């Protein structure tokens, strides 16, 4: 029962990121929201490691790995994602994130020579088709545009590269330290883009901004990740199955909090994505 409750909590928190980001970008430019979130989350994770006496200084080689991982996972992935959410419906953002395991199949095959099976190719086709179907009605009412979808697609490719890189490195640091430092380093790499691309006249540091950034930093990036690592330690395959709930929660949040429509297209698209994820995770 404990594992089930933690799995549900993870799915609820992880899928809330898109809606929280949509609220945040109403008050500040997207990259400003991202940078503040990264620095808060990173400092909280490092402080947690210090207080729990699990901190140690990374070696030079570990700093190199942390920098590359942080650039891919935070600067590129989350930087592009938070920018895309200004032009994309929250529900589509949640649905796109859940396809990450499918993209990892393709990218791992390219980088490490792992050939994708017929079942995995079918999974990928189902996932891409599902997102396309769910997006159709949102393109017609200006809640989503092609520029936002392009940024969202690039962010999914970036996080897939980050995941494959993470899997290739033999880490000796704890998960808390890895994520704490990669988020901080990724935020530092993003800072020049934030300073040059953000219109400071649009800054409105109101309660909506602080609620959004604190939720993204503490609930999603800290508590959500702690739940995810707990699930991974128990069973990697079973942990990934909790991603199936993310699109469902994501569309519910978008409907409840942002009045985004749930149509027949939404339902069919979500079923196809979940079906693709299930097929890719199902063991013989």
Burial 109-133 (b: 16+ CB within 10 A, else e): eeeeeeebeeebeebbebbbebbeb
| pTM of the model as a whole | 0.84
Other C-beta atoms closer than 10 Å to the C-beta of 8 total: 14
Q: Within a 10 A sphere around the Cβ of 154, how many other Cβ atoms?
A: 16
CB neighbourhood size of 264 (10 A): 9
**At 129, is the secondary structure helix, strand, or coil?**
helix
pLDDT per position as a tens digit, 46-89:
999 999 888 899 999 999 999 999 999 999 999 999 999 988 88
Residue 254 has pLDDT above 50, yes or no: yes
| Per-residue pLDDT reduced to its tens digit, 101-116 | 667 767 766 666 666 6
The torsion defined by the Cα of 82, 16, 158 and 30, in degrees rounded to 10, comes to: 10
Residue 281 has pLDDT above 70, yes or no: no
**42, 82, 158, 184 from 38: Cα distances, Å:** 6, 12, 17, 6
Tally of structural domains, the chain: 1
Tell me 205's DSSP state: -
Q: DSSP label at 87? A: S
Measured CA to CA, the distance from residue 179 to residue 194 in angstroms comes to 21
For 198-245, the pLDDT digits (tens) are: 887 878 889 999 999 999 999 998 898 888 878 877 766 667 677 777
Q: Which domain holds residue 63?
A: 2-281
Higher-confidence position of 283 and 184: 184
Tokens, residue 260? 């985004």
How many whole angstroms separate alpha carbon 253 and alpha carbon 20? Answer: 10
Rounded to whole angstroms, the Cα distance separating 162 from 143 reads: 29
Tell me the per-residue pLDDT of 164-197, one tens digit each, with 9 for 90 and over: 888 888 899 988 899 999 999 999 999 999 999 9
User: Is residue 59 packed enough to be buried (19+ CB in 10 Å), middle (13-18) or exposed (0-12)?
Assistant: exposed
């Amino acid at each position: 029962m404990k594992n089930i409750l933690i799995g549900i909590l993870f799915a609820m928190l992880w899928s809330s990121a898109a809606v929280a980001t949509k609220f945040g970008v109403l008050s500040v430019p997207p990259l400003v929201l991202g940078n503040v979130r990264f620095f808060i989350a990173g400092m909280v994770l490092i402080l947690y490691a210090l207080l729990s006496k699990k901190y140690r200084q990374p070696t030079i080689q570990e700093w190199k790995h942390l920098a590359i991982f942080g650039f891919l996972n935070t600067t590129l992935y989350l930087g592009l994602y938070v920018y895309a959410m200004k032009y994309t419906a929250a529900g589509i953002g949640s649905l796109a994130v859940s396809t990450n395991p499918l993209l990892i199949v393709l990218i791992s095959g390219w980088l490490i020579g792992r050939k994708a099976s017929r079942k995995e190719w079918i999974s990928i086709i189902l996932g891409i088709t599902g997102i396309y179907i769910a997006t159709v009605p949102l393109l017609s009412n200006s809640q989503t545009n092609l520029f936002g979808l392009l940024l969202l697609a690039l962010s999914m490719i970036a996080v897939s590269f980050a995941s494959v890189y993470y899997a290739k490195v033999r880490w000796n640091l704890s998960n808390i330290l890895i994520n704490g430092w990669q988020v901080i380093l990724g935020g530092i790499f993003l800072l020049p883009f934030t300073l040059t691309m953000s219109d400071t006249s649009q800054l409105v540091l109101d309660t909506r901004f602080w609620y959004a950034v604190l939720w993204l930093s503490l609930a999603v990036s800290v508590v959500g990740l702690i739940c995810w690592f707990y699930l991974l330690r128990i069973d990697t395959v079973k942990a990934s199955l909790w991603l199936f709930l993310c699109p469902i929660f994501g569309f519910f949040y978008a409907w409840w909090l942002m009045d985004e429509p749930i149509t027949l297209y939404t339902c069919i698209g979500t079923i196809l994505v979940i079906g693709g994820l299930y097929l890719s995770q199902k063991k013989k």
